[in-house]
A = this chain, B = another copy of it.
Amino acid sequence: MALSRTFRVLSLPVLAFGLQVAHAAELPVRPSASEVIKTSKPSDWRPTDPANTLYLDLPTGRVVIELAPDFAPQNIANIKTLVKEHYFDGLSINRSQENYVAQWGDPNGETDKPKSLGTAKAKVTGEFTVPMSNDKHFVQQKDADGYAPQIGHSNGFPVGRDPQARTTWLTHCYSAVGVARGNETDSGSGVELYAVTGHAPRQLDRNITVVGRVLSGMPLLTTLPRGSETLGFYGANEARMPIVSVRLEADVPEAERSHYEVMRSEAPIYQQVLEAQRNRGGPWSKFAANYLELCNAMLPVRERGKL
């Protein structure tokens, strides 16, 4: 995931005529986020945990999902049961709503012939927030946030916190994975999961259980055709992307595994990465925001050991 966000220089004709105007740089030249990342040490990264990594394999490729069991232990336990019993294999992606979510599960889940849940539970208590003691390696982000009294990163996940209520929760940034539910708080079970594909719908925070986020493969979800029915569900005659399988990385033979590592958000270098995004330097940037919205603070992810 490239963090460099400058726009391509379009001024070749100017260069060709030797007329490039030397504007006084308004901002000091500072290292970009990608330049900061290049200075990282191997110890600044942690490998993903095979016991908490899901592979959503589609005919078009693999979506890798990192689970955060500290934030949703019961829902994740149920999802692992579903996965272990091959519940998702052969099901499909049933919803793609522009600037919102892609959602997968049983296309017949709401008919009178739903797929058997096996030994998994049909209803799991919503884990919309958990005790603040659950979040590991929490590092506060200093920027103010409209949706949470406090924000930061916990083991790499963007989280909100309410220090008064002593609660913490995973936020709905782009790539967050959550548990669809009906009106009742315990009506979700993990049989339908969604990933955020657009601008962060943070109003969902504390309203629904978030279980993790997509580490790799987001374009496989974001480029799906949008469903024509309400909320982006596909109609009966629309082609749905089939799910080849959903597996826990720990159950996948080594030769078939993906190998990702995530920057440790508790490592000092991560604060430098955030600062490089909070106050971008010249020569492209002319105005430094001195602010970094939580969902613009993306955590660096890479294939293991690759720069």
Q: A110's contact among B10, B110, B199, B204, by CB below 8 Å, is which?
A: B10
B4 & A183 in contact (Cβ 8 Å cutoff): no
State whether A144 and B147 are in contact (beta carbons under 8 Å apart), knowing that A98-B222, A199-B295, A287-B207 are contacts in the complex: no
State whether A182 and B286 are in contact (beta carbons under 8 Å apart), knowing that A199-B199, A218-B99, A293-B146 are contacts in the complex: no
0/1 string, A2-32, CB within 8 A of B gives 1 = 1011111111111010001101000000000
Count chain A residues whose beta carbon lies closer than 8 angstroms to a beta carbon of B: 86
CA distance A289 to B218 in the complex (A): 27
State whether A98 and B289 are in contact (beta carbons under 8 Å apart), knowing that A187-B10, A233-B8, A296-B201 are contacts in the complex: no
By secondary structure, the A interface counts as: loop
B128 & A192 in contact (Cβ 8 Å cutoff): no
A284 & B183 in contact (Cβ 8 Å cutoff): yes
Chain B proximity of A109: nearest CB distance (Å): 6
Among A59-116, those with CB < 8 Å from B are 95, 97-100, 109-112, 114
Verify if A230 is at the interface (C-beta below 8 Å from B): yes
For A175, the closest partner residue in chain B by CB is B99
16 A-B pairs, CB-CB below 8 angstroms? A7-B194, A8-B110, A10-B110, A10-B191, A11-B184, A14-B123, A23-B185, A128-B287, A144-B146, A147-B291, A173-B199, A182-B284, A198-B199, A203-B289, A206-B287, A222-B222
